[in-house]
Structure 1
């Protein structure tokens, strides 16, 4: 699988990445053996970029990922994690986490974008994963903490990068406007953009993608299925969009896009994965994976060729924005196994 380098760093990401929230029991329990098998299947498919966070299962995702990769040569894969939510003892546990993960709540999350919080968070992540270093560290959802994140956390990460402790630094969010600020106003090398450059939402063309283009920085695209609506060949009523019930108008639009995809000999999920690569600053698409079957399917979808004229048809029918870049394709010289 082709790898792309984050400019001005030595960090390379495979064009498809593995988002590990499900390893932390997102929404429901994932057995430990299934978690290990999912990482193994992703590896066999050629995926070498793995993204995790303390938030995912109160550290469970990090510990499971570290265990699954422990026997792999460290130079052969890239790991990112996040800071901003410190895990601290929970003085008043209720028995189960209240933020969407099927784990015990013996720990709780505490927002902290201070320099000390960053250092403590990274140290704890290294302990949980058993890794000797993190390749990329993102600020995690700093929406309500811009000042501390920009003035304290990002300089702390930049110092670690400059010392060679981490390879690249950035921020990850579900909005694009503040990510553009991180690119323009801080030392961020890369941002993780969730759900804002997809077949149904190209709002990142208004802010973060022009900033990345202007500054020669990189974007990792996540949430490309918009939490579900773009994940099936035939979208249906009752599916989710950005973690809520999808409005009927959006379901109809997704169906229209699916019909154009079928006319071009491809599928909606394959096109959803390919679409972010239409922009030159997006170097990776990372997908959540819960099972070995999902990992294999995602790699197969990523490997399917998507006709270049599909994007032209979607533009001409008003199904994607007219300013979606036309001159860039998937820019891939190799296919997944």
Structure 2
């Protein structure tokens, strides 16, 4: 069935409304989803991993009154949520939620089906449009021999619309594209203004094979999210050379009346294999900011100058 061509150039990443790093309340999370829908965003991406199911529950509740055929919903498999004995402690994987559940990696056929069934329950839906194998970095054999065939079967049965994988690395995604019949990949952080390793290594292969690419992590966790390039890079302090490079890119952007985050959102869509940029947001204000950045025009001369100075490939 594949990925709909009308999913839109930008999608809503629901990791932050799963209380990524800091908590947001239900009302703030709902307002973020509402703002995205009202801004014309029609692709919504979540996962069991995000807040131990909180992201899926909040996203499903926020979309419950929207026509089901008006949006595309993506979730992921590979981490089952099971009861934890952690008591009153907090989740140790970056989400500000109680650790009453824990994640168990499971890329088996049964694990995939169970994960999807449980996601549908949390979302309050009877189907999802895209299912991605989530972060199978150390689980290639089971992911390709069990998870992928299970998803392909569900796709053939019309239970899901499109299947693929989502990762922070491009090398294994390229292997999936070469060795399976996936519809879509989500590439996080490797097709950005600062890291074009996936641009060179994965995207031409996807274009050749007709695999659509969802670009995520386009701010590299924060360094490209503000014009002064003061944030983190891949969730850690930015190395000096990358910080200097980001600020050089910002200076070139200034010559064209463009901000660094505006360019960061626009850059991934320049490749024909990329169909949408998925940007996370935790509030209506963040959604509105990103929508305004996405709507602002970026002159072609900016990319010419960045290439001339060796700042983009």
Aligned equivalents of 2:69, 2:44: Cα separation in 1: 13
Provide the rounded CA distance (Å) in 2 between the counterparts of 1:26 and 1:314: 33
Structure 2 match to 1:84: 78
Q: Normalization by structure 2: what TM-score?
A: 0.98
Q: 2:279 corresponds to which residue?
A: 287
TM-score normalized with structure 1 length: 0.91
Aligned equivalents of 2:153, 2:89: Cα separation in 1 = 39
Q: Specify the alignment match of 1:220 in structure 2.
A: 214
Describe the shift of the 1:117–1:24 C-alpha distance in structure 2 as closer, same or farther (beyond 3 A).
Answer: same
Q: Per the alignment, do residues 256 and 272 of structure 1 end up closer, same or farther by CA in structure 2, a change over 3 Å counting?
A: same
Deviations 1:295-323 (A, max 9, x none): 011111111110011111000001111xx
* Structure 1 position 18 matched with structure 2 position 12: yes
1:67 corresponds in structure 2 to 61
User: Is 1:118 aligned to residue 112 of structure 2?
Assistant: yes
Alignment of 1:126-275 (within 5 A): 126-236=120-230, 239-275=231-267
Aligned residues: 313
Task: Return closer, same or farther for 1:12/1:145 CA change in 2, 3 Å cut-off.
Answer: farther
- Show CA shifts across 1:81-122 (max 9, x none): 000000011134452111111111111100000000000000
Gapped runs of 5+ residues in structure 2? none
Please state how far the C-alpha of 1:180 moved relative to its aligned partner: 0.6
Q: Deviations over 1:261-316 (max 9, x none)?
A: 11111111110000001100000000010110000111111111100111110000
CA apart distance, 1:135: 0.3
Name structure 1 gaps, 5 residues minimum.
1-6, 322-337
Q: Which residue of 1 aligns with 2:44?
A: 50
Aligned-partner Cα distance in 2 for 1:276–1:9: 18
Which of 30, 33, 37 pairs up with 2:27? 33
CA contact (8 A) 2:10 2:278 kept: yes
What do you get for the CA RMSD once the two structures are aligned? 1.2
Q: Could you give the per-residue CA deviations for residues 191-237 of structure 1, whole angstroms, max 9, x where no partner exists?
A: 0000001000100133211210211111100000011111111223x
Give me the whole-angstrom Cα distance separating, in 1, the residues matched to 2:72 and 2:4.
11
Helix, strand or coil at the partner of 1:297 = helix
Partner of 1:101: 95
8 Å contact from structure 2 (residues 3, 130) kept in 1: no
- Does the 8 A contact of 1:139 with 1:172 survive in 2? yes
**Residues 11, 168 of structure 1: 8 Å contact kept:** no
Q: Deviations over 1:11-32 (max 9, x none)?
A: 6421100101111111111111
